[in-house]
Chains A and B, each alone.
Chain A
């Protein structure tokens, strides 16, 4: 252990005992963290990065992991070195929260819902610093200020559910900072947050680390976050360290093939500049004139509201204006990307188009046929032309049907094919999306996330639809799988002339796949236009904020200034409130911006 290192992980091996024998989750991992340094451990799901974090705090055993070999040497505040792998629970308890603190991914579940935010921070302070209640409360407010929470005195008395996701994560960080730890372990702290909130939290962690001379171990799968945060990077795969290097060096000259592959798969904002049509990852960009599309889907003045009910009598007190007067059109063979942050109404828009939720008013026409007035059998028939792909491929497949049955289901429903014709078609589709015949009789849980998403795509294609609503189709996937699925979707569009309504929060992926982009905020489209126009010349302030917040996987790039953290306005209005219809200014060819 070198003199400046505060943590030295030395050939760590963590084993999980399962019914099918031991599984090695971390295998011979070694790395060091020096004081004041930020080290990122990156890897895809199952690479053992979270298990490593848990093992450092001695928490691995609670999920069944056992440290089989190796040492985790930690230099304590009094300069004594302890081996956390061998330390007993009493010693670990004095270190956890006090000298090493942890921030988890999900800010909702890492706070206790029945205590106020202030009580939870104060509890940590009293526990570790033996301060009295008044002193602890004073320090807690101080901490809330430090993590830049507006109105800290009022927040102190609020419960976690009264705060937004970003605010909750700030509270979690405040708790972690309560005892000025020497090491902060952050396990995917921003993965569950919107991109603008993520940018604020990253900025916060960075400045706190600099202020407090605290080392940070950052666990993430996102290369953009790595580039913005880390001094040094440890790349992990299958429990082993693939490569370790200074961040700039790793991004400039990755030594290992896996690292190169990982970096190549990362969508980069701006990488599509000037290209006229979507391009697969690794494909040369085309710069010819943008193609024109025959109109397929037209949505006019679509409004969807959800009632808010209160009290014993379930009185209808307010409406959530999820989709508020939204109009757009998609041409045949075209991809319109609908981007925005959680709660902006983009998913509800997609579902309203498919009539999975009933729109309140407005018109949706597919090839001239009005969909909002259809019902019963007519609607069921028309559904053949429009299919949907969901974000979570785990929940999107019926756990009790085999792969074959899943893909065949739409055909069986419509009685299109039977017998060997059905089988041929399903087998053909399953092969087309890159799965093999042996997998036909398997159940969804036997597939990986990426394979499941391929199955979902195959199922969506069975009825030869004209339009596919893809609701965050790659957000739940690892980055290399993400690239493969995006490529598959682009290929299928070129082959079959499909149109996509591509709903996503990920600006970099959107830039890859879309012909045109519509940005949604608070139930309204605030900006819509050809991809190059929206990305190259964003006019609406919200579009600019979104673009500035995207983490850039280039450690040499200068950081764009962030807009100040504000509170999210809410789209809940009293019953009877009818907002004025939106007006749009045309600022370029087909480029519209919501007038202020």
Chain B
């Protein structure tokens, strides 16, 4: 009888360093691997997205004016290329004579902050609760799913009003409210995925091999449900930008005169017929960011799928 546990004869022991090298390559290699896989078009998208993040980050340095400084003599000027345009305000000015370019840059900064943090909160919260509901099941899982149903049934604006009435209107509160708004979609998707994957034979084989729950979850189940989470994230990201604008519109969002892309669209509504650029410029910025996120997310889902390597 051969014992497979013993190293097989005739097999030179592999050098010790090899495993470490492998592990090391894996840890820092994911981003490099993704960049290698990206085609030139995708690299362009990623580059543009990074550019937007940088622009948002350094908005105070890039903006030519104070975004809230009013120049009433230069009200309602169109962007460069139209009649009455002023070269000093390349994207025009709004009804109070504030520079559209500066406002868009500052708005971009705040909007990206809200959307990134907000979508991160919903992703983490929703995924965690979805995993619990799908993996632990039982009364706790039922309770989480009941919360999901409640969140869907109760109008979100009502909750938002209540929270803001209690805690006051500040940026952290706003981000938390927006983040919490999206968790239930994640929870439902993640729960369904966890239910499916945790009944797959390969998970059973891991249980049969004696794995602990945390190993089963983090090594086997979560990596297999990354794709839907990424897709959800790209969709909620743009939805959150719009949610922020509708909240600003209701007066629940960032308070004027502070600019966000959403509130700028809201303010531009009254001048849509006479001075459309006030709404169009921030709208284009929203569209541009959302589109980039969707494109990159779509690609990321495929790039992370080992089956399509």
Identify the A interface with B (CB < 8 A): 351, 354, 356, 379-384, 386-388, 390-392, 395-400, 409-410, 413-414, 418-425, 427-429, 431-432, 443, 445, 456, 459-461, 463-464, 495-497
Total A-B residue contacts, Cβ distance less than 8 Å: 112
A398 touches B210 (CB 8 A): no
Pairwise interchain contact B7-A421, C-beta atoms closer than 8 A: yes
Residue ID in chain A nearest B309 by CB atoms:
A443
Which of B1, B8, B208, B306 makes the CB contact (< 8 A) with A428?
B8
The docked-state distance in angstroms from the alpha carbon of A100 to that of B11 is: 60
Indicate whether A388 sits within 8 Å of B14 (C-beta atoms), given known contacts A398-B224, A400-B306. Answer: no
Least CB separation from A459: chain B residue = B205
B22 to chain A, nearest CB (A): 9
Task: For residue B278, give the distance in angstroms from its CB to the closest CB of chain A.
Answer: 46
Residues A496 and B224 in contact, CB atoms below 8 Å apart: no
Instruction: From the candidates A384, A390, A431, name the one contacting B201 in the complex (CB within 8 A).
Output: A390
- Cα(A443)–Cα(B209), bound, Å: 20
In-complex Cβ contact of A396 among B15, B18, B205, B212 (8 A) = B205
Verify A464–B224 contact, CB threshold 8 A.
no
In the bound complex, CA of A445 to CA of B305 (Å): 11
Report how many residues on chain B are interfacial, defined by Cβ distance under 8 Å: 34
Q: Looking at the assembled complex, report how far the CB atom of A179 sits from the nearest CB atom of chain B, in whole angstroms.
A: 41
A461 to B215, CA, bound (A): 20
Contacts of B200 in A (CB 8 A): 395-396
Q: When the two chains form their complex, are residues A413 and B208 in contact, meaning their CB atoms are under 8 A apart?
A: no
Q: Which 7 A-B pairs have the closest CB atoms?
A: A383-B210, A410-B209, A380-B210, A390-B201, A428-B8, A396-B201, A400-B223
**Which residues of chain B are within 8 angstroms of A497 by Cβ–Cβ distance?**
1
Q: Is B274 an interface residue (CB 8 A)?
A: no
**B209 in complex: contacting residue of A387, A422, A432, CB < 8 Å:** A387
A409 to B207, CA, bound (A): 11
Q: What are 18 A-to-B residue pairs whose CB atoms are below 8 Å?
A: A351-B204, A380-B210, A382-B210, A388-B205, A398-B220, A398-B224, A399-B224, A399-B307, A413-B209, A413-B211, A420-B14, A420-B15, A420-B18, A423-B19, A424-B8, A459-B205, A460-B205, A463-B209
B contact residues around A432 at 8 Å (CB): 4
Q: Chain A residues near B215 (CB, 8 Å)?
A: 413
Residue B3, interface by CB 8 Å = yes
**Residue of A with least CB distance to B15:** A420
A495–B219 Cα distance when bound, in Å, is: 33
Chain B residues within 8 Å of A419, by CB: 16, 19
In the complex formed, the residue of B with least CB distance to A428 is B8
With contacts A388-B208, A395-B201, A443-B307 known, is A425 near B1, CB below 8 A?
no
Q: Which residue of B lies closest to A390 (CB)?
A: B201
B4 contacts which of A380, A400, A410, A428 (Cβ < 8 Å)? Answer: A428
Cα of A441 to Cα of B210 in the assembled complex, Å: 24
Q: Is B5 an interface residue (CB 8 A)?
A: yes
Q: In the complex, what residue of chain A is closest to B203 when comparing beta carbons?
A: A398
Of residues 187 through 212 on chain B, the ones whose CB sits less than 8 Å from some CB of chain A are 200-202, 204-212
Contact between A496 and B4 (Cβ–Cβ < 8 Å)? yes
- Mask, B15-37, CB within 8 Å of A = 1, is 11011000000000000000000
Contact call B307/A445, Cβ cutoff below 8 A: yes
The proximity string for B residues 204-244 relative to A, scoring 1 for CB distances below 8 Å and 0 otherwise, is: 11111111100100011001100000000000000000000
**Contact A443 B306, beta carbon cutoff 8 Å:** yes
Residue of A nearest to B19 (CB): A419
> When the two chains form their complex, are residues B204 and A390 in contact, meaning their CB atoms are under 8 A apart?
yes
Bound CA span A310–B55, Å: 58
Give Cα A379 to B220, complex, Å.
20
Give Cα A379–Cα B3 distance, bound, in whole angstroms: 24
Chain B residues with CB under 8 Å of A399's CB are 224, 306-307
Q: Are B201 and A424 in contact (CB under 8 A)?
A: no
Chain A nearest Cβ from B39, distance in angstroms: 14
Q: Which interface residue of A397, A400, A413, A461 has the most chain B CB atoms within 10 A?
A: A400
